[in-house]
Amino acid sequence: MKLKTLEITGFKSFAERTKIEFMPGITGVIGPNGSGKSNIIEAIRWVMGEQSAKGLRGDKMADVIFGGTTQRAPLNRAEVAITFDNTDHYLHSEYSEITITRRLYRNGDSNYQINGVNVRLKDVYELFMDSGLGRESFSIISQGRVESIFSEKPIERRSIIEDVAGVYKYKQNKDKAKKELVDVHDNLTRVADILYELQDRVEPLAQESAKAQDYITTKASYDKLDQSRIVLELLDWYQEKNQLAASITTNQAAYERQKGLVQDKKEAIEKLREQRIALNQEQQSYQEALLSHIQQIEKLTGKKNLLAERHKNRTETIKTLQDRLALATERLAVIDHSYEQCEHELIVQTEKYEHYQKLIQQVATTHPRTKLSELNQNIEQVRQALITTMQDLTSAKNERNYLAQENERSDAESLRLKKRAAQIKQRLTDVSTQVNEEKTATKAAEQNLEEAKQAFEITKKEGQRLEQQRHDVREAWFTKMAQEQRLSTRLQSLQHVAENYDGYYQGVKNLMKAQSNFTGIQGVVANLITVQEEHKIAIETALGAALQHVIVINEQVAKQAINYLAKHRLGRVTFLPQSTIKGRHLSDYQLATLNQLEGVIGIAADLVTTKSEYQNIVANLLGTTLIVTDMNAAIIIAKQLQHRVRLVTLDGQVMNAGGSMTGGANRQHGNGLLSQKTEIDQLINQEKTLHAEVLALENQVKQTDHELTGTTTTFNNQQQRVLTLNEQVQTQKANLQLAQANLEQLNKEQTALQYDYHLVAGQQSQQKTVAENEQAVFELANKQQRLQQQLDEDLATQTQLQSEINQADQQLSDDKSALSKAEALVSSLEVRKSDLLTQKEAEHQQITEFTQQLDEFMKDGDDVKQRLSAQIKLNQDKKQIAQESLAKVQIALQNVEQKYVDLNEDLNIIQDTLNDAMTTVSKLNGRLGELKSLINNNEKVLETTYDISFEFAKSELLDLDIMTIRTKLKLLQKGLVEIGHVNIHAVEEYREVKERYDFLTQQQNDLIAAKDNLQETMSEMDTEVITRFKTTFDEIAEQFSKIFVKMFGGGQAALVLTDPDNLLTSGIDIQAQPPGKKFQQMSLLSGGEKALTAISLLFAILAVRPVPFAILDETEAALDEANVDRFANYLHEVNQRTQFIVITHRKGTMTQADVLYGVTMQEPGVSAMVSVNLTNLDETLVED
């Protein structure tokens, strides 16, 4: 892959569209400082996805857009397009040329394109992934990159090798695994805490559940026995019912048998009727066949007699034909001699005639002789037709014998082809049906496969969704459990404080701990009242120390408690005896005044909720205290009440009776006794809510696990089904192909058979039957006679016309008598010649006919006589068979008639028996209905008591007698009394708690397995990082040692691990020994030596992991001229495998470049490009 072109428009100083073409080898970019050379490198980084504005020397990304100059206005868009030659598909793309375009507008809009198609930034990243290219790869090396190598610490320098080794993704995955491991550890802790709590509940619930289970078992046994008792009491009725049902079944069976006999008799009668009809038809058929054979015998006998008569006259006919043949032969000889004479004389007279004809040519056109020509033409046509008819007649006679044989052969072949066609047609039907079935089966299998694939994909997606849902629900569950645990811890802490009375006076604390020693201590005021949240501060302030007063029943209890505290020196407590404390209230005047004042919340006693027996004490403590909104309202209200009432604001400020005021705030405001109690109540409610949410999430986890298990099973089944259906589809396709091949073969056979059949049919269509041939012979003979008659008529006409011509000639030219005579003579000779020729042909025809007739009569007729005798014998045999068959049929017909009469008599008897059976069954069914009604009433009693049917109770009936069952029922009743009260719900509660305990145990095991898996994965990633890092380090170190020698012209250098035993964290140090110096750390080298050493390391990296192109931005700036030359020479050596784009100010680098681009600013603030091809320039200079 090579970098082809770079197009820049509106990017930084490139205001105009600028296109840079990069050739193979080294491309140099030169120019003065500030001309915009580095903008080219930044344009490449930007189009390849750079997102850091600071990395592009800007504050924000819009700074890359041309900002304008004193002569040019700012542009609104920056665009860069870079084109790669990807014919070797170095980048994973099907395109041979890839163009990446990036645009940015001042309003913030931007877009990326690959070959003109809008894409995402992610797509650009993925295109360069694992290619060694990109905005941060070693394909772009700046001077700052070189400086960072020798200025970084060894541990920071490690990242160079890691980038080349490609271990960054493994480190990212390890960090992700670490975070997951922390989450798993936290979740394990939460699950362990919940399991610890559940473990204390499981055992007590197990005992309660066992007791409840004993009760349930005993009660079930009692119910079972009681059900059996009821069943046994009802058995008598069921027994009678069964007996009745059996009797009904027997009678019904008898009825059905009789009914079946009736049906059988009817069917037999129907069969006999059909048999009688068939025998009558058969009798008629045999009679018709007998008549046909008799007629055929008479016909064949007539033919045989006729043949014999013809054979008798055969000799006389042959003698007559022979005489006629001899006479015709003699006449033919005379005609031949006359024809030769006439032909010779005609030649002589024709010569004379032609001479005279020229003289009378004009007259000849109107002469009657023209008619003679037409007549002669007609005579010739008739003669030719006569000849043709005679030939056809001969052919027809010859064809007669051929037709008989050919018809027999064609009939046999046609019959064979029809049978074969029927067989192929049947096979075609079967195979076509098979093909259609295979197509249907294949289509169904493909449809099933497609449906299975769709279901498989749906299940796969559903499994992924459930997996993600399971992860989310589990995380939410663990989070809620953590919240519940924190809240529970806080609640337990507050409840512990409340139970120990922490925050109370010493006397109150000691007394309440010993409360069990006294009878009549109700509790502390703070614990016996409830206050709304908005009034809490005001009531706490109003009560003050009275919150810790102890309420007792009477003075005696208070006295005992005081003596106890005093005796043991446990502190002092104020007691409020219910028997003596009276409530205090505002006067009616004060209450009336309050109703007219603003800012009054209410009387403090009315804002407190407590039990009715403590109302007097609350009224005593708070009955004369008012709660007001704020101090301003308190001052006004106090004046109106003449400072006789104590006022407390909502925020705890006090206006005392008499006018004194108490106020301010403590740092820990809100930690009073009422606040603690309120918080405990709130936490209890919150804990209930959170616990319900945890259980709900837990159920969701269970449900999700259950669904996931089902989905996984379904997934595996569907996957197996897809494989199975795929095999079925392949099998069906193979079967379909085989069936289609068979069908194609049968179609070919049918086509060949149709061709043969059409050929035979064609032959048959061209053939005629013997009768048709006889008809043709008769018609041809008549036609010959008609033509001969017409010819004779035409000849007579011709003679008459000749006479007319002679008369016309005599009249036309008396002076030309000689011509007339000659013409008449010629004409006469021609007619004579024609007559003789006609007679000659006629005689030939007669001779041919006589000869054929003689041949025909000479043939032997014995074969025909034998054939007729055989046919007569065959028909006589068939006649005998028909007579015998007819006699048998007549006997069978008589037998059927007799059976028909007998069956009808049997049917009448069975029908009477059937009616009697029907009456008996009806009576039994009536009694059965009454019995069912009685049983149904008792079954309803059983269903009402135990909610079961009698059939079910009967199936569970114990094998005990009624007395034993009653004895056991008494014992079980006593046992139930001894068990006493039980908590039936303990069984379900134990099941739920045990199920949750087991579920959490399973979750704990899953988390432990996940923890082990994550640790194993992290270990595997560490191993992979170590392997990749060590391999890459060794390769780069080896190349670095070699390239260092080339770059320095000697010396030696090495890459050293600072901690070889720990490859995961070891840093990398560079040791170098330039020529003439000792081996030392890189930090001790000079600036130029450091730069050249760092460049050697970068070249070593490129040698280990070559890239298609590399961009060097003034990397050799710190080198002297000698080192610049070595740097440039090395570039020249390796530019065959890597295309270099070098931005430089150094002459030595420029001389090795194949193409130089100059960047100038002819217009201030606007960069422009000038190019020179140094390779072509060198060739030109050599030629000069």
Alpha carbon separation from 499 to 494, 504, 686, 1145 (Å, rounded): 8, 11, 20, 86
**pTM, entire model:** 0.46
Amino acid sitting at position 316: E
Looking at per-residue confidence, does 933 or 810 come out higher?
A: 933
Which CATH homologous superfamily contains domain 1-139+1116-1135+1145-1184? P-loop containing nucleotide triphosphate hydrolases (3.40.50.300)
CATH topology classification for 412-430+446-502+673-767: Helix Hairpins (1.10.287)
**368 annotated among ligand-binding-site residues:** no
pLDDT exceeds cutoff 70 at 855: no
pLDDT score of 667: 55
pLDDT at 100: 93
Amino acid 1180: pLDDT: 47
Residue 517: burial class (beta carbons within 10 Å; 0-12, 13-18, 19+): exposed
Give the rounded percent of residues in the chain with a pLDDT score beyond 70.
Answer: 85
Mean per-residue pLDDT for 485-506? 72
Confidence of residue 575 (pLDDT cuts 50, 70, 90): very high
State pLDDT tens for residues 525-553.
888 888 888 888 888 888 888 888 999 99
Q: What is the pLDDT of residue 701?
A: 80
- Name the residue ranges covered by the structural domains of the chain: 1-139+1116-1135+1145-1184, 314-397+775-863, 412-430+446-502+673-767, 504-666
pLDDT at 488 over 90: no
Is position 817 annotated in a ligand binding site? no
Instruction: Give tens-digit pLDDT for 276-316.
Output: 778 777 777 877 777 777 777 777 777 667 666 656 666 66
Helix axes 770-812, 369-499, angle to 10 degrees: 140
pLDDT at 809: 60
Q: What is the distance between the alpha carbons of residues 1092 and 1100, in angstroms, rounded to a whole number?
A: 12
Output the average pLDDT for the chain. Answer: 79
d(CA 259, CA 271): 18
Q: Read off the pLDDT of each residue in 949-959 and give the average, rounded to a whole number.
A: 77
Confirm whether residue 32 is marked as ligand binding. Answer: yes
What pLDDT, in 10s, does the model give residues 304-352? 676 666 566 666 666 776 777 778 777 778 777 777 777 777 777 777 7
Percentages helix, strand, coil for the chain, rounded to the nearest 5?
70, 10, 20
Mean pLDDT on 1029-1040: 87
pLDDT confidence tier of residue 1184, bands split at 50, 70 and 90: very low
**pLDDT tens figures, 1052-1110:** 888 888 888 888 888 888 888 888 777 766 667 777 777 888 888 888 888 888 778 88
Is the pLDDT confidence value at 387 over 90?
no
Is 34 assigned a ligand-binding role in the annotation? yes
| pLDDT value at residue 807 | 66
Contact in structure between 822 and 420 (CB atoms under 8 Å)? no
Using one digit for the tens of pLDDT, what is the confidence trace for 359-384? Answer: 666 555 655 666 666 777 777 777 77
CA 624 to chain centre: 81
Greatest mean pLDDT among 448-452, 643-647, 1100-1104 lies in: 643-647
**Is residue 544 marked as binding?**
no
Tell me if 159 is assigned to a ligand binding site.
Answer: no
> How many Å apart are CA 1100 and CA 756, to the nearest integer?
86
- Residue 819 scores a pLDDT above 70: no
The annotation status of 36 as a binding-site residue, yes or no, is: yes
Both structure tokens of 64: 């890359």
Chain segment 178-220, per-residue pLDDT in tens: 887 887 787 777 777 777 777 777 777 777 777 777 777 877 7
**CA–centroid distance for 424 within its chain:** 42
Angle at CA 412, nearest 5°, toward 406 and 414?
A: 95
**What's the confidence (pLDDT) of residue 1182?**
43
Average pLDDT over residues 21-41: 86
In this prediction, residues 801-812 reach a mean pLDDT of 64
pLDDT over threshold 50, residue 1181: no
- pLDDT at residue 552, as a whole number: 93
- Average pLDDT rounded to a whole number, residues 56-75: 87
Q: What's the pLDDT score for residue 404? A: 63
The arithmetic mean of pLDDT across residues 900-925, rounded, is 75
pLDDT band, residue 105 (cuts 50/70/90) = very high
Pick from 14-18, 104-108, 253-257, 529-533: least confident: 253-257
1.20.1260.10, 3.30.413.10, 3.40.1440.60, 1.20.1060.20: which CATH number matches 504-666?
1.20.1060.20
Is 1041 marked as binding a ligand? no
More confident residue, 534 or 702: 534
Q: How far apart are CA 515 and CA 522, in angstroms?
A: 9
Q: Which range in 426-435, 538-547, 891-900, 1112-1121 is most confidently predicted, on average pLDDT?
A: 538-547
